[in-house]
Amino acid sequence: MIDHLRAMAIFQSVAELGSFRKAAQRLKLSPSVVSHHIAQLEGHLGLPLLYRSTRRMSLTDAGVDLLAASQRMSAAAQEGLDAINRRIAQPVGKLSITTNASMAHRPFSDLYAGFARAYPKVQLSIHITDETLPLEGSEYDVAIRGRVTDLDDSSYKIRKLRSLEFCIFASPDYVRGRPPLNDIDDLADWDRIAYPAIPWTSIASTAEGKAPSRTPRSVLSCDNYAMARTFVEDGLGFMIETYPLVAKDIQAGRLVQLLPKVRLRPVDVFAVYPANSTRDSLARVFVDYLLSQQWA
């Protein structure tokens, strides 16, 4: 495998430079060694990768596919090396982040704590709001958002961090004595704690795209996750939020997951940051850290 990876890297140089001689100069190898590795790689694959003539060289279809795969491999390797180098260099400075209220709670807040431990010389400033703040001209270096449909500014880069599953839950006291639920429309006879302030037909749509035909009564609504949770725990109604926020409470019996077999449409979580951020910028360091972590 190591020999094949080395041969792929040599092939990538040849393909990108269009010349065995130029690739040999870049790699500090002799042209005969470069040619030998390409020939071995073609022999292993059983397919030609390059068309050679006295005047020009071009890629076969298999060569085009392998070049794309090799470039992805090289980019991933470089990203890993950069991450290690950044740890050694210990970046310094202030990093301003804006995120929503749900992300301020565990297990998501552990991501920020982990970053602070990994990069102790970076001063984190975190702003919590469920409003979609305009980033252009703002003080924020990175925004963590559950949607990016309103962002059409090409001066910002968007990277998907994870998809998170939604969960419908209530307190055991609220559930006790109520009729069983067969499908999501049965919740129309229950009471909803409305957080976040998203229309029921949108937040309760299934992964297959089916929207509920009936809407429950919103007995309470608020724009703060912690307050909404207290209303649920006090037995005032049910609520929808991402599963990691309530997983431990469901497992411990403090909350009850409603309709566990119904898979709701997940929410994609994105990091938004300036497109001109360099590889070593604090914004990129933070986003790369989030991408490297296990999310509960």
Residue 89: the pLDDT is 66
Is 153 a residue whose pLDDT tops 70? no
Which of 70, 71, 133 lies closest to 97, judged by CA?
133
Q: Do domains 2-88 and 166-265 have the same CATH topology?
A: no
Q: Is the pLDDT of residue 149 over 60?
A: no
State the DSSP H helix or E strand holding residue 218, giving kind and residue range, or none if neither.
strand 217-221
Determine whether domain 2-88 maps to CATH 1.10.260.40. no
Q: What DSSP string runs through 57-120?
A: EEE-HHHHHHHHHHHHHHHHHHHHHHHHHHHHH---EEEEEEE-SGGGSTTTHHHHHHHHHH-T
Residue 147: predicted pLDDT? 67
The answer to whether residue 152 scores a pLDDT higher than 60 is no
Angle between helices 20-27 and 31-45 (to 10 degrees): 110
Confidence (pLDDT) at 294: 77
- Rounded mean pLDDT, 212-235: 89
How large is the C-alpha radius of gyration of the chain?
26
Q: Which residues contact 110 (CB under 8 A, 6 or more apart)?
A: none
C-alpha distance from residue 256 to each of 55, 166, 290 (Å) = 72, 14, 30
Q: Which residues face 154 on adjacent strands?
A: none
Residue 250: per-residue pLDDT: 93
Position 86 scores a pLDDT of 63
Going from N- to C-terminal start, the domains of the chain cover: 2-88, 91-163+268-292, 166-265
Architecture of domain 166-265 in this structure: 3-Layer(aba) Sandwich (3.40)
Least confident of 60-69, 104-113, 140-149, 234-243: 140-149
Three-class HEC string of 8-65? HHHHHHHHHHCCHHHHHHHHCCCHHHHHHHHHHHHHHHCCCCEEECCCCEEECHHHHH
Give the pLDDT confidence score for residue 115 in this predicted structure.
92
Report the pLDDT value the prediction gives residue 218, as an integer from 0 to 100.
87
Query: In the prediction, which pLDDT does 54 show?
Result: 65
pLDDT at 251: 93
Summarize pLDDT for 168-219 with one digit per residue, the tens. 999 999 999 788 888 899 998 899 998 877 788 888 888 887 888 888 988 8
The per-residue pLDDT for 60 is 87
Share of the chain above pLDDT 90, in %: 22
Q: What is the pLDDT of residues 120-136, one digit of tens each?
A: 989 999 998 877 777 77
Residues 6+ apart with CB under 8 A from 264: 165, 166, 167, 168, 203, 204, 205, 206, 207, 240
**Higher-confidence position of 182 and 87:** 182
Question: Who's near 45: CB < 8 A, 6+ residues apart?
Answer: 62, 66
* pLDDT, average across residues 68-82: 83
* Confidence at residue 236, expressed as pLDDT on a 0 to 100 scale: 94
- 27-67 pLDDT, tens per residue? 888 888 888 888 888 888 888 888 877 677 888 888 888 88
For the domain 91-163+268-292, what is the CATH superfamily, name and number? Periplasmic binding protein-like II (3.40.190.10)
| Cα 58 from Cα 243, distance rounded (Å) | 51
Rounded distance, CA 61 to CA 139, Å?
Answer: 48
The pLDDT of residue 288 is above 70? yes
Q: What is the pLDDT of residue 1?
A: 67
